[in-house]
Structure 1
Amino acid sequence: MARSPASPRAGTPPADVDWADLRLFLEVARTGSFSAAARKLGVEQSTVSRRMAAFERALRVAVFERLPGGSMLTPLGERLRRHVEAMEAGADQLVREANGHEKEVEGLVRLALTESIAVHGVIPRVLPVLAEKHPRVSVHLLTSYEAAELGHREAEIAVRFFRPTSGDLVAARIVTLPTVPVAHRRLAKKSRDELDWVGVDLGRIPTVEEDYQRRHVKKAPRVVVSSYIAQIEAVRAGLGAAVLPCSALDLDADLVELDLGLPAGPVLELWLVTPRSLRHVPRIAAVWSALEEQLQFLHDARRARARPRSR
């Protein structure tokens, strides 16, 4: 039986419905179950169930009947499906026309990324190349550790340390980043017990480096900072060691990889992400290509591996 949503207060308009939830509604309608939609989209079934329950609350109607073998649309749900499919077709046509209209590589691209990737990668390497090849493209860097809303809300492209599992997005892993314990060379002769550590605390955002230090170093950091930029600067100042990408060794000739007998550090992944509808828009494609090409240096740890480890 279809559940009955709570009756709205008279005269109140329904809440705004997210287009992503409309697309998810279509996926459930087409696959016939929350679990099938979740598998196709690469997300947890609980995520689909939670978002569809919120979708029904926003509409204040029941659109699904939950059955033991899956889900089927209510009669109202079937009618709504036709409207949403028409919206989908209209949106696709809009994108096709917009992409066809935008022939030149020009305009603003908003890029969401962390401050460390901006300072050590995008600003010195990507932007100069982009400015030379595409002088009519301007870039707005949005630096934050929070994941930005992609599309026309906050940013068109994001550089992320995780692969997105929801939304109609295109994602490409551009580099993998092995990590190692790093310190200033004057600390290289210290034993594991003598060595101080520099930690990073991003508040509600967990980090694999923090988890590694907690499980394997088992020593509270002497200095804790709230950004990777500050962490690297603290290590360069000789305040302690930290688990950093191998590419960090190229930032300063006085930084060395430590051989402390610890397990291999976590491997980080860097992903480019953009809405599918924007991937081939000329200005988006130009920035995407520049990021993909110029950030490859982060993966090149040959200099780091060529240096002898300090003991």
Structure 2
Amino acid sequence: MQYIIAAIAYVVQIHTMNWDDLKIFLAVAEAPSMRLAAKHLGISHSTASRRIDALEDALNVRLFDRLPDGFRLTKAGEELMPTALSTDENLHSFGRAVAGRDDALSGEVRVTLPDAMLAIGCFTDLFIGFMDQYPDIRLKIEDSMQVFDLSKREADVAIRFTAAPPEHLIGRRLGNVHQAIYGAKDYLAEHDPHVAGSGARWIAWGDPVDCPDWVAHSPFPDLKIRGHFNNVQIQLSMIRKSAGIGYVPCLLADAYPELVRISEPEATLDVWLLSHRDMRAAARMRAFRQYILDRAPQIELALAGQAHKPFNQVTS
């Protein structure tokens, strides 16, 4: 924190300056010639000269005498040097301090997930495994349908349902959430939906209409809807209590042995692991991303309703 305060203090002192111009000022003041200073900075001689002119105009003072053998600091230029050098050192010190923290496997990683479906159905075991392996890294998990802005550091990592990730983010597709029709064993024994007149009913979601599109395109379009429940956990609870059959994510329903899958899984939503480009260098971020990606094959199987191994194991 002291580096930030010091850096800000110096920047306030030289608020009329452009930091790039100040770097050029230092390079010209310390180099044998303008040509060598420009070469060191990776810019042209004319650009360096023009930026020095701009800095002098901004400060309304001449910083260098232009002599046949090069640039020489004026009295004003000599008075600027201590402030310029201190500013340069403080900013570099701050950078080194931040780099040191970023290289440490500690600190906080904030993860946002769209809803409890992914957190409970797929990632809880992964989060536990990560915390066991990296005890000095704290996870902060936000379960929300809100789209967090990674560019504003509202979250470090986003696990999102999306078909087109934003271009300013980096990431990898983890798989696709598949859904299927499930019913409790006891319920299906009495109300087999494959049998006409079975009395089976849908546990539905969405707008309360008699036959939504997902029912119309299901293997059982003629079944009536018993109720609408716009929360997947409530739907699952209703299905498990033999209230009806439902079309739910496989990664959740497969966790309950009393439920039976009675249709083929269908692909619905892509799931991506995303983070901002500026955050990829931090060690804690690299560790979290790599931990998840090492387990991507199991995650993909789980999302598709084909999981057969614990999520916290790495596929060899």
Counterpart contact for 1:164–1:171, Cα < 8 Å: no
CA–CA distance in 1 between the matches of 2:240 and 2:255? 9
> Are the counterparts in 1 of residues 163 and 269 from structure 2 also a CA contact under 8 Å?
no
Matched, 1:236 2:237: no
Q: Do the aligned partners of residues 181 and 147 (structure 1) sit closer, same or farther apart at CA in structure 2, a change above 3 Å counting? A: same
CA change 1:129–1:264 in 2 (3 A) is closer
The structure-2 alpha-carbon separation of the partners of 1:257 and 1:102, relative to structure 1 and needing over 3 Å to count, comes to same
TM-score (norm 1): 0.55
Q: Which moved more, 1:187-196 or 1:247-256?
A: 187-196
Counterpart AA for 1:238: S
1:149 is matched with: 149
Equivalent of residue 212 in structure 1, options 193, 211, 214: 214
Instruction: Give the alignment of 1:78-227 within 5 angstroms.
Output: 98=98, 102-113=102-113, 114-123=115-124, 125-189=125-189, 190-191=192-193, 194-201=199-206, 211-213=213-215, 215-216=217-218, 218=221, 221-227=225-231
Q: Which amino acid aligns with 2:166?
A: S
Distance in 2 separating the partners of 1:117 and 1:251: 13
Alpha carbons of structure 1 residues 140 and 220: separation in structure 2 relative to 1, 3 Å = farther
Are residue 245 (structure 1) and residue 245 (structure 2) matched?
no
In the TM superposition, residue 159 of structure 1 has moved relative to its aligned partner by 1.0
User: Which whole-Å CA distance do the structure 2 matches of 1:127 and 1:212 have between them?
Assistant: 33
Return the alpha-carbon distance in structure 2 between the equivalents of residues 175 and 110 of structure 1: 21
Tell me, in whole angstroms, the C-alpha distance in 2 between the residues paired with 1:299 and 1:131.
23
Q: Secondary structure at the match of 1:148?
A: coil
Deviations 1:154-210 (A, max 9, x none): 2111111214443410121112333221111123252256321222349xxxxxxx7
Q: Please give the residue correspondences for 1:299-310 in structure 2 after superposition, counting only pairs within 5 Å.
A: 299-300=301-302, 301-302=305-306
User: Is the CA contact (8 Å cut-off) linking 1:196 and 1:241 kept in structure 2?
Assistant: yes
2: CA distance, partners of 1:182 / 1:129: 29
Rg (Cα) greater in structure: 2
Q: Distance in 1 between matches of 2:285 and 2:205?
A: 32
Q: Which amino acid aligns with 1:110?
A: R
- In structure 2, the residue matched to 1:274 is 275
**What amino acid is aligned across from residue 108 of structure 1 in structure 2?**
E
1:212/1:266 contact within 8 Å kept = no
Structure 1: 5+ residue stretches without partners: 1-93, 203-209, 305-311
Q: Is residue 240–residue 259 contact of structure 2 (8 Å, CA) maintained in 1?
A: yes
> Residues 229-260 of structure 1, C-alpha deviation per residue, up to 9 Å, x if partnerless?
2222222222222222333343111111115x
Q: Percent identity?
A: 19
Which SS does the other structure have where 1:221 is aligned? strand
Say which is worse superposed, 153-162 or 217-226, in terms of deviation. Answer: 217-226
CA apart distance, 1:97? 8.9
Letter of the 1:158 counterpart: A
What per-residue deviation string (whole Å, max 9, x for no partner) do you get for residues 32-87 of structure 1? Answer: xxxxxxxxxxxxxxxxxxxxxxxxxxxxxxxxxxxxxxxxxxxxxxxxxxxxxxxx
Structure 2, unaligned runs of 5 or more: 1-93, 309-316
Q: CA 1:152–1:139 in 2, change beyond 3 Å: closer, same or farther?
A: farther
In structure 2, what residue type is equivalent to 1:197? Answer: W
CA contact (8 A) 1:159 1:273 kept: yes
The answer on whether the counterparts of 1:122 and 1:291 sit within 8 Å (CA) in structure 2 is no
**Partner Cα distance (1:151, 1:98) in 2:** 18
How many residues were matched structurally?
201
Q: Deviation string for 1:285-308 (max 9, x for gaps)?
A: 22222333456246144479xxxx
| Superposed displacement of residue 274, structure 1 | 1.0
* 1:214–1:152 distance in 2 versus 1, CA, 3 Å: farther
Please provide the CA RMSD for this pair. Answer: 3.2
Separation in 1, partners of 2:162, 2:101: 33
From 255, 258, 263, the equivalent of 1:254 is: 258
The separation in 1 between residues aligned to 2:121 and 2:242, in whole angstroms, is 20
Label 1:297 to 1:266 Cα distance change in 2 as closer, same or farther (>3 A).
Answer: closer
SS at match of 1:270: strand
Determine helix, strand or coil for the equivalent of 1:266: strand
- Equivalent AA in structure 2 for residue 250 of structure 1: D
From the superposition, tell whether residues 200 and 143 of structure 1 become closer, same or farther in structure 2 (CA, over 3 Å).
farther
Contact 1:109 1:156 in 2 (8 A): yes
Equivalent in the alignment of 1:47: none
Residue 220 of structure 1: how far off its partner (Å)? 5.7
